[in-house]
Chains A and B, each alone.
Chain A
């Protein structure tokens, strides 16, 4: 709980992760302060998505420390030894970490509104009426009020992603993680999702965004992290990294993406 006193929202220190034979994360260090917006760039296979999945312990790490708001995720220290937490405790920690997926993953059997209401009512055990009011406000924020009663299959990809953002926000997360939120979208639908993410950023949310949208990173991000082959190559203010990359590989990547 010590770090909660400072304003560090996310601390990733020396994180290692193997997927089978693959050493996907090789000692990753990233810090995100409260209210900061950090974009993670990098070629596919560089470990960006795995990092996000490790942060909320969807995939357990093989080494290193991950703390959100000063709380260690997935493990607890007892007598100098790290123990994996009980599933219930991990699930509770995840409540405070919002996650938006590349493929939206809206619950297919629920309407847009039910998707947003589900977490607060079924997991946080809030009263339904209050949760519905709040969900309606969130749907308004993401511009989806008119389609509140539609099922995901009746929505476009961009609309689904905006509902997914509202669903994550409904849990009042301390940190919002976006895993390539626009990569699965038709080009003409990317704009509406980025606009929504900009709105969320303006609300003061702490955000960690894995993306290929350099324009978004330049405009919205406080810091940009560049990852390659499981390592952080660059970490600095957006303009510095994007305009004056120190590494050849960053420069090469940026040239290709642009």
Chain B
């Protein structure tokens, strides 16, 4: 047993990290070389930049903590003020509703653009061109001032129908739907064309194959950018403050218009937007995880009763020799 004195020799004296690799008597000879016990190089650049950032950040904090104009007390006081909380609610409502409406519109537009019907395709492209082309702020103002063009809609006074909220909602939905249509179209194009062939060869029409086979598979690709778009939407809702949409920013402006505590209230708005965006990002993370199930790289399937992957080897072998 030559392995015996191998263990007893110099190896036992070195650090315990190496001891893990020492061969035991009767074992196969170790093929693993002794690990390299090198010290990692110091990452000087990282340390220096961390120091610089720490110094600058503490200087800024120190200067602002004591800045009388910051008035942290006022910010704390208004953070959960009913007026502000109401604004947060409106912002959430506006984002969620505008996003939902825009997604529905965008699916229709994306299907139109991908359709064999050339007229539908052109209409879809023009739609995207217009609503993606005109700045959101301009669209918000356009819808709010609709009454100038159409004093009445179906016999009702336009001004009574179009409030700051509804004008904002319409504008955000339409503008967003232009972007979302392109996101959805990109998702549909990411599905291999063979899926379309397979669906049609079973007896689906082109449109059915697009809706029932391609679209469901494009969802996985569509989700991540949709999350980004939603986060963008949360922030874009602040645009409706120009027409008094009673959202978070509108309310903050309303308050500082009365008490002139401008910065503290903007800080309140900043914190609330950051909170909303953070929550949305976490939600997006879980959505992505959920929709990634049937893809390579993610081996847990949606169903719990999935058999272990090992069986695949057995089946492949028996199938090959059968």
Residue positions of A touching B, CB distance < 8 A: 53, 56, 58, 87-88, 90-92, 94-95, 97-99, 101, 103-111, 118-119, 122-124, 143-144, 146-147, 149-156, 158-159, 162, 164, 167-168, 171, 188-189, 191-192, 195-196
Contacts and interface: CB of A to CB of B under 8 A. Distances in A.
B318 A143 contact: yes
A147 B201 contact: no
B38 interface: no
A149 B203 CA distance: 24
Interface of B: 192, 194-195, 197-208, 212-213, 216-217, 220, 293-296, 299, 301, 303, 305-307, 309, 311-312, 314-316, 318-322
B312 A87 contact: no
Contact of A123 (B204, B293, B301, B306): B204
27 contacts: A58-B197, A58-B200, A87-B207, A88-B205, A91-B203, A91-B205, A94-B203, A103-B192, A105-B192, A107-B195, A108-B217, A109-B294, A123-B203, A143-B315, A143-B322, A146-B311, A146-B315, A147-B315, A150-B312, A151-B294, A153-B294, A154-B312, A155-B312, A159-B312, A192-B319, A192-B322, A195-B320
Contacts of A99: 197-198, 201
A181 to B, nearest CB: 13
Nearest to A167: B202
Contacts, number: 127
A195 B294 contact: no
A90 B206 CA distance: 10
A109 B216 contact: yes
A56 B205 CA distance: 12
Contact of B198 (A106, A144, A191, A195): A106
B306 A150 contact: yes
A123 B217 CA distance: 19
B184 to A, nearest CB: 16
Given A91-B208, A97-B201, A105-B197, 12 more contacts: A107-B195, A107-B198, A107-B217, A143-B319, A147-B307, A147-B311, A150-B312, A153-B295, A153-B296, A158-B320, A162-B319, A195-B320
Nearest to B209: A91
B217 A109 contact: yes
B198 A149 contact: no
Q: Indicate the member of B192, B202, B204, B296 with the most A CB atoms within 10 Å.
A: B202
A204 B278 CA distance: 62
A103 B306 CA distance: 25
B205 A149 contact: no
Contacts of B200: 58, 91, 94
A150 B311 CA distance: 11
A168 B303 CA distance: 25
B202 A171 contact: yes
Contacts of B322: 143, 192, 195
A158 B322 CA distance: 13
Nearest to B198: A105
Given A150-B312, A154-B309, A101 B203 contact: no
Contact of A159 (B206, B220, B319): B319
A90 to B, nearest CB: 8
Nearest to A93: B203
Given A97-B201, A143-B318, A149 B303 contact: yes
A251 to B, nearest CB: 32
Given A147-B315, A154-B301, A119 B203 contact: yes
Contacts of B204: 91, 123
B117 to A, nearest CB: 11
Q: Which of B194, B315, B318 has the most CB of A within 10 A?
A: B315
Contacts of A107: 195, 198-199, 213, 217
A153 B197 CA distance: 19
A123 B202 contact: yes
Contact of A149 (B213, B299, B307, B314): B307
A171 B217 CA distance: 22
A150 B296 CA distance: 12
B312 A95 contact: no
Contacts of A155: 312
Nearest to B305: A149
Nearest to A151: B294
Contacts of B197: 53, 58, 99, 101, 105
Contacts of B202: 94-95, 118-119, 123, 167-168, 171
B287 to A, nearest CB: 16
Nearest to B303: A149
Nearest to B318: A143
